[in-house]
Amino acid sequence: MRLDGPESSNVEDRRGQRIGGRGIAVGGGIGGVVILLIALFLGVDPGVLMEGGDSAPAPAAQRQASPQDDAARHFVAQVLGETEQVWGAEFARAGTRYEDPSLVIFSGATQSGCGFAQAQMGPFYCPRDRRIYIDLDFMADLQRRLGAGGDFAAAYIVAHEVGHHVQNLVGVLDRVDQARRGEGERAANALQVRVELQADCLAGVWARRAQETRNILEKGDIEEGLNAAAAVGDDRMQRAGQGRVAPETFTHGSSAQRVQWFRRGLEAGRMDACNTFAAAP
């Protein structure tokens, strides 16, 4: 990627901070390991998936940021800056004002507006405090284990979480939250899948707009992004975690769906192309 723009000023670095709090025990109907993998680095409000259970308070370890950490911080801050430019222009075009999210970098664990957060939950967006939370070390390790490497794959992760922020600003998350109440688990999961696929599409819209205005993409970047989208499909995660696929428990969408919607955003470059709620199941 070619990122020549300034870093976002909306980055909060909490690395090395010690924090106490209640840990989170992973639970759920499809097995703890699988839920952890599904939540991974592309989620919204992890409390939805990680409810229940307690563990002893576990403070995050203190450590000094390495040169590699600083390079990673610079990268995600530049990507966030790119998203601010794109979505600021998109909202202005629609006659509204884009409110920038904050991105919190932490190590091990931190407190979020959605509760106590651990690195193993992966990057996520908390709609309550409008912040994105990322442990850079864990994200990099997860990318390696999933085979989703490359700088654009990492940018896709950030852009997906910013997509959730866009959904929050336009009221999608509130409407879905209301619609999920009173629904059975399968119907609620199906709605959550549409939320996640829309965030994938919005990440594609961002990439298309940033390329048109600032020529950020290099050869192979699109393939990295599509590979990352495929790597985090629920079917692939479940097959790796439990050896079988249970579509009724999907919360993020299959690999094919995630690639489809990310590609749609890339090709269309428009928010109105991302109406996953009107699409066939």
Give tens-digit pLDDT for 231-251: 888 898 888 888 899 998 899
DSSP letter for 15, please: T
Quote the DSSP letter at residue 55: B
Total-model pTM: 0.84
pLDDT above 90 as % of the chain = 59
List strands edge to edge, sheet with 43-44: 11-13, 102-105, 131-134, 124-126, 43-44
Question: For residue 43, what is the enclosing H or E element?
Answer: strand 43-44
Provide the pairing of β-strand 115-118 with 109-112. Answer: antiparallel
Per-residue pLDDT at 32 exceeds 80: no
Provide the residue ranges of all domains of the chain, joining segments of one domain with +. 11-274
- Specify the 3-state DSSP secondary structure of 131: strand
Worst-scoring range by mean pLDDT, 5-14, 37-46, 136-145? 37-46
- What is the sign, positive or negative, of the torsion defined by CA atoms of 56, 146, 132, 247? negative
- Maximum CA pair distance of the chain? 50
The HSE-up count of residue 190 (CA atoms within 13 Å, CB side) is 12
Confidence of residue 44 (pLDDT cuts 50, 70, 90): low
Q: What is the pLDDT of residue 53?
A: 34
